[in-house]
């Protein structure tokens, strides 16, 4: 359940922030990368990217406990693992709503609250390395050559990313922070290889994919299946709405599949999306009326300011 709920929040953060133009490095559209590639590494940081106030991503994390964990072992040494990266990314999802330095300060406060001074200092060092790595990752992505072979392109990207990490982390740190996502990526690449192998019959292809499934650790299998479960759930929600289900019925459907808190956050996102679409529809109608009456640019800007915040106005060209 924790994995599915985490996936809900991440899908919301990814979908909304990417759509709003926030500079998180999300390569879903890259032909060289499988859809599941590098969930952790995709969150590359661009410091000054805007996002709308009160976005669904922000609402998705509002009222939640920070994702991930920061722990020390019995010898008071920091445990460097994927949970620490999840904790960093939980706060970095707010980038665009708040300045990077403010988010960094929040992360440091959380680390100091959870850890004793020595491991907290080590976690702060890793945080700064993590931020520098994410900035460099943006440049790396921009410089990757296009590839007509999705599996080969994904393999080259993963190799380049792993090499980049060497400039910021020790081998043990890289394995701890990114080992889980690398295993996920390697599995995704193997599936691309199988699906693109024209020499395989349908039966052989299914057998090889089933063999990959059997080799997956339970945790990795759950992580891989979580996005599909969310997509299926939202398909069921769309079908239920088409059949006349009201908001309470949709809440119960989601709460049963996920959790009451996740269902409540998704309901908030639904309400905000409906409000946004209502305001956009009204704006488009009034904008056409102004254009037909040959109004000046000042009247159009007044229309924008009357219905949208400054950050929201940056999204309007996509609807004009």
DSSP letters along 101-155, please?
Answer: HHHHHHHHHHHHHHS-HHHHHHHHHHHHHHHHHHHHHHHHHHHPPP-S-HHHHHH
Q: Which tokens sit at 222?
A: 């759950």
Asked if the model's pLDDT at residue 117 lies above 90, the reply is yes
Residue 113: predicted pLDDT: 96
For the whole prediction, is pTM greater than 0.85?
A: no
Residue 112: pLDDT above 50? yes
Q: Residue 220: its pLDDT value, please?
A: 77
Closest CA to 103 of 56, 46, 63: 46
Q: Are 210 and 243 in contact (CB under 8 A)?
A: no
195 — pLDDT class (breaks 50, 70, 90): very high
Alpha-carbon gap, residue 162 to 141, rounded angstroms = 13
pLDDT at residue 308 greater than cutoff 90: yes
Q: What is the pLDDT of residue 96?
A: 74
* Residue 91, helix vs strand vs coil: helix
Give the Cα separation of 264 and 244 in Å (integer): 20
Do the Cβ atoms of 85 and 34 come closer than 8 Å?
Answer: no
User: What Å distances lie between residue 243 and 233, 236, 271, CA to CA?
Assistant: 15, 11, 19
pLDDT at 66: 75
- If you average pLDDT over residues 282-302, what whole number do you get? 88
Residue 259: its pLDDT value, please? 85
Q: Are 111 and 128 in contact (CB under 8 A)?
A: no
Cα(153)–Cα(51) distance, integer angstroms:
30
């Amino acid at each position: 359940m924790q994995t599915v709920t985490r996936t809900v929040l991440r899908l919301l953060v990814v979908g909304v922030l990417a759509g709003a133009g926030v500079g998180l490095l999300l390569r879903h559209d890259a032909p060289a990368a499988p859809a599941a590639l590098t969930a952790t590494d995709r969150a590359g940081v661009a410091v000054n990217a805007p996002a709308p106030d009160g976005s669904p991503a922000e609402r998705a994390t509002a009222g939640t406990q920070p994702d991930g964990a920061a722990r020390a072992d019995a010898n008071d040494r920091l445990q460097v693992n994927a949970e620490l990266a999840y904790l960093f990314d939980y706060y970095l999802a707010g980038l665009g709503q708040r300045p990077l330095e403010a988010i960094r300060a929040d992360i440091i406060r959380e680390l100091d609250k959870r850890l004793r001074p020595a491991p907290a200092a080590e976690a702060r060092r890793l945080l700064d390395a993590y931020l520098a790595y994410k900035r460099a990752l943006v440049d790396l992505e921009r410089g990757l050559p296009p590839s007509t072979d999705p599996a080969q392109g994904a393999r080259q990207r993963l190799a380049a990313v792993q090499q980049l990490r060497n400039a910021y982390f020790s081998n043990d740190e890289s394995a701890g922070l990114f080992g889980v996502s690398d295993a996920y990526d390697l599995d995704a690449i193997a599936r691309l290889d199988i699906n693109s192998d024209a020499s395989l019959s349908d039966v052989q292809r299914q057998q090889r994919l089933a063999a990959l499934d059997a080799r997956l650790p339970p945790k990795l299998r759950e992580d891989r299946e979580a996005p599909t479960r969310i997509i299926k759930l939202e398909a069921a929600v769309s079908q239920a709405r088409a059949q006349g289900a009201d908001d309470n019925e949709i809440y119960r459907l989601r709460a049963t599949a996920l959790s009451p808190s996740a269902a409540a956050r998704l309901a908030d996102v639904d309400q905000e999306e409906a409000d946004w679409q209502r305001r956009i529809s009204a704006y488009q109608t009034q904008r056409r009326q102004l254009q037909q009456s040959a109004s000046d640019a000042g009247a159009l800007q007044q229309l924008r300011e009357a219905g949208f915040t400054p950050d929201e106005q940056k999204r309007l060209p996509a609807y004009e």
